A and B are shown apart, each in its own frame.
Chain A
Amino acid sequence: MIPPEVFLTFILMLSVFLGFELISKVPATLHTPLMSGANAISGITLVGAVGLAGTGNHDLSNWLGAAAVGLATINVVGGYLVTDRMLAMFKKKEN
């Protein structure tokens, strides 16, 4: 059985390489939407935060989790919407 730390580090290593590959050939036109789209993904912390905000313990950790849920939701919702707004404007030349 692989120890969980090693397993997680494996995932990390593969994802980093994948990230490099995915982004390296993006045209300059899309740098802003790409950045803000990636930024929205970094709001994934929300998934970790809900677990901590829902323990029902009413302790410090619970409150911190609740605050994290709020902040991460701003990041996720705002990030995706703003990216979509930008991308909706990108048009190819007609005719």
Chain B
Amino acid sequence: MDILIQFSFVVAAALFIFGLKQLGSPATARRGNLISSIGMLIAIVSALVDQGIVEYQFILIGIALGAIVGVAAARLVQMTSMPEMVALFNGFGGMASLLVGWAALSPTAGTFNLVTIVLSILIGGLTFTGSLVAYGKLSETISSAAVMFTGQQVVNSLIVLSILASAFMFCLQPTDPQWLYLVVGLSLLFGIMAVIPIGGADMPVVISLLNSYSGLAACAAGFAVDNNILIVAGSLVGASGIILTQIMCKAMNRSLANVLFSGFGSAQAQGGEVEGEVKPITVEDAYYVLEAATNIAFIPGYGMAVAQAQHVVKELAELLEQNGAEVNFGIHPVAGRMPGHMNVLLAEADVPYDQLLEMDEINPRIETVDVAIVIGANDVVNPAAREMESSPIYGMPVINVDHARTVFVLKRSMASGFAGIENPLFYKDNTRMLFGDAKESIGGLVREFGS
């Protein structure tokens, strides 16, 4: 029986790998997710028939409650709230690994086992609270700004040292519960301290990093309970999360250390003076320009998610196409609050994915674009990243909308983006500002086309 269970874990691992592989292409992604979930089902059923289990009521209650919460959350969540939902699920996974590590503690545990228990508690704990803070920031339950205070570095270093010390003591005296409690408490505290100094716009990096941690926590828990499938699946997730994190960092031309520790976004406005004049435009005038345009690109950012404007944007895109124009969407890798955030929102609005161009695809052809419509994006289209060496985002690859013939910027007011970085784009000769709520402005354009 035991050998059968172990072999079914091998099958499950193969299905996870195959599923992840298929998740890599839009045409097969949905099937890939299904395959991976079948792998999970096989793994769970095999674990349930294990002879070591003598009592099922706790398991069944846990699975039933968890399934109810999971189904409800997955069904009810709005697409715009997806980043915080993913963060929350992630946190639960981390907490589960912490608990498994803790529960695996037995008086007979050897040193290797104790170290893996500490690791699963540590990584699981910081994933849990880190994800909760990320959830708070993304849902704006707490301020999404970077929280910095004097001596932060010192406090954090002290926490890390205390974690190391108490982990060491725990391994020496595993029967003394106070060291264990200390490790648990400090890990939870460290998760909070690690995420509060990171500003809202850096969330794509944080989310993918926490995702990676939850995998590593599962992996550590696998060592703690001596289970292969946890190690394989956990490390697959850990590795994939790290890759995504790297892609996000590269898209901002910043190192991971800079994202995690610099408190980017808490700094005051800096950089050179911007010269020029802001030129507002009315919806009506914007309509006349769009009607004459043959090549139009939308550049969405987090503001589109906030305004829930994706559906009306799709409507406008269709009208423009009927009018004979070529319409594309230019997506910056870190636009929004999680990797691929804009793609999900536009998919929700039925925009076909082959109309979404990545930054590297849109930039070479941006000069042929008649009108670039920037919706709630700021830093990802900021030409200061190319032109102003004094700018904090200098060197970050951006979508060069200022090279389009005309740029419409939809914006509530002249307030700067996160970090208070001035955006020279707003002052360029070919830029027109369409002030107001993005959803209403686009809605106004749609009505103009209708009349």
Contact = CB atoms under 8 A, between A and B. Distances in A.
Interface string B257-300: 00000000000000000000000000000000000000000000
Interface in A46-89: 46-56, 60-89
Contacts of B221: 45, 48
B325 interface: no
Contacts of A68: 62, 95-97, 99-100, 103
B307 interface: no
A73 B378 CA distance: 39
Which residue, A19, A22, A27, A69, has most C-beta atoms of chain B within 10 A? A19
A63 B20 CA distance: 33
Interface string B108-124: 00001000000000000
Contact of A34 (B23, B34, B231, B350): B23
Interface in B334-367: 338-341, 343-344, 347-348, 350, 352-356, 358
B353 A73 contact: no
Interface string B63-90: 1011101110111010100100110011
Interface in B36-63: 36-37, 40, 43-44, 46-48, 50, 52-56, 58-59, 61-63
B208 interface: yes
Nearest to B40: A76
A82 B44 contact: no
A86 B234 CA distance: 23
A19 B235 contact: yes
B97 A28 contact: no
Nearest to A67: B99
Contact of B230 (A19, A28, A47, A90): A47
Given A50-B53, A82-B86, A38 B103 contact: no
B29 A87 contact: yes
A1 interface: no
Contacts of A81: 70-71, 74-75
Nearest to A3: B112
Nearest to B24: A26
Interface residues of A, number: 81
Given A16-B238, A41-B40, A65-B58, A33 B23 contact: yes
A30 B244 contact: no
Interface in B179-232: 207-208, 211, 214-215, 217-219, 221-232
Contacts of A42: 90, 93, 211, 214-215, 217-218, 233-234, 237
Contacts of B37: 40, 80
B384 interface: no
Given A41-B237, A44-B218, A81-B74, A86 B353 contact: no
A89 B21 CA distance: 20
Given A71-B66, A91-B350, A48 B230 contact: yes
Contacts, number: 379
Residues of B in contact with A, size category: 35 or more
B17 interface: yes
B301 interface: no
Contacts of B339: 28, 31-32, 35
B48 A50 contact: yes
Which residue, B34, B63, B105, has most C-beta atoms of chain A within 10 A? B63
Nearest to B343: A29
B303 interface: no
Contacts of B161: none
Given A35-B339, A70-B62, 10 more contacts: A19-B243, A31-B338, A33-B340, A34-B29, A46-B96, A50-B44, A51-B50, A61-B104, A62-B103, A89-B344
Interface of B: 16-17, 19-21, 23-27, 29-30, 32-34, 36-37, 40, 43-44, 46-48, 50, 52-56, 58-59, 61-63, 65-67, 69-71, 73-75, 77, 79, 82, 85-86, 89-90, 92-93, 95-97, 99-100, 102-106, 112, 207-208, 211, 214-215, 217-219, 221-244, 247, 331, 333, 338-341, 343-344, 347-348, 350, 352-356, 358
12 contacts: A8-B231, A15-B232, A23-B244, A26-B24, A35-B241, A39-B90, A45-B230, A46-B44, A48-B222, A71-B66, A73-B67, A87-B30
Closest 7 CB pairs of A and B: A73-B66, A19-B239, A31-B340, A69-B62, A77-B70, A54-B53, A78-B70
